[in-house]
Structure 1
Amino acid sequence: MEKERRQQERQTAEPPLDAFELHSGRNLGRVVDLSTEGFMLFSEELLNADSLWEFRLVPAQTIEGIEEIRLGADCLWQRPGADGQHCWAGFHIIDLAEEQAQALKRLLKGHG
């Protein structure tokens, strides 16, 4: 049994959060769960583990005045979806400006 390595408990992302690649604007998928340290993404495309990404996480509706959160994240792992076309990917947040960190905390609080 794999030991749980997460420091923070993750919450289901409600309302849903879409994840966009910051520079291209490409929609990479939907955030499944989220914490202040990381998130799991269900992606429309196969993502590589050990890759770095810059994201805009955009809630389906504005929460606590938050329209988006910008962050950098490291893809720690990925598993292909059952259809072989999608994937599940786990990300560790590695770059988050202070105001974005505060927005993420407010977003998580709004979910709770």
Structure 2
Amino acid sequence: MDDERRLHSRHNAEVQLEVFDVHSGQRLGRVVDLSADGFMLFSDTPLAADELVECRLVSEQAIDGVYEVTLGADCLWSRPGADGQHCWAGFHIIDLAEDQAVSLEVLLKHL
């Protein structure tokens, strides 16, 4: 994705954010960077482009009282990692409740 197409600046995650599937509880990976409209994930398992996920972004420590954000995201692209085991994937946030959007803003301020 070209930087010109990005609406919001990306922040490298200083805070460790793990991503879990809401329904299965499976760990999908770790957030590498995050913006108000998307995130890049480093995953232990291959993810498919066009896959829709309902997930929780979970912080290991509370940030202004926020531990997690629940959202729906669409996988825009996925690339295998150098080791062939992991993958990198880019997600666009497509479903975010108002209270979760507030929590996401809190996280973004601390990245």
Q: Distance in 1 between matches of 2:38 and 2:49?
A: 14
Q: Secondary structure at the match of 1:106?
A: helix
* Residues 19-51 of structure 1, C-alpha deviations (whole Å, 9 max, x = no match): 000111101110000011000000000000011
The Cα of 1:110 is off from its aligned counterpart by 2.1
Q: Distance in 2 between matches of 1:6 and 1:42?
A: 20
State the partner residue of 1:97. 97
Amino acid at match of 2:103: A
State the partner residue of 2:45. 45
The 10-residue stretch of structure 1 (2-11 or 27-36) with the greater mean CA deviation from structure 2: 2-11
Q: Secondary structure at the match of 1:50?
A: coil
Q: Distance in 1 between matches of 2:67 and 2:2?
A: 35
* Residues 62-94 of structure 1, C-alpha deviations (whole Å, 9 max, x = no match): 111001100000000011000111100000000
State the partner residue of 1:22. 22
Q: CA RMSD in A?
A: 1.0
The 10-residue stretch of structure 1 (5-14 or 90-99) with the greater mean CA deviation from structure 2: 5-14
- Residues 1:12 and 2:18 are matched in the alignment: no
Q: TM-score when scaled to structure 2?
A: 0.95
| Number of aligned residues | 110
**Identity value in percent:** 63
Query: Where in structure 1 are there 5+ consecutive unaligned residues?
Result: none
Kindly report which structure 2 residues correspond to 1:53-72, keeping only aligned pairs within 5 A, or say none. 53-72=53-72
Q: TM-score when scaled to structure 1?
A: 0.94
Query: Where in structure 2 are there 5+ consecutive unaligned residues?
Result: none
The Cα of 1:3 is off from its aligned counterpart by 3.6
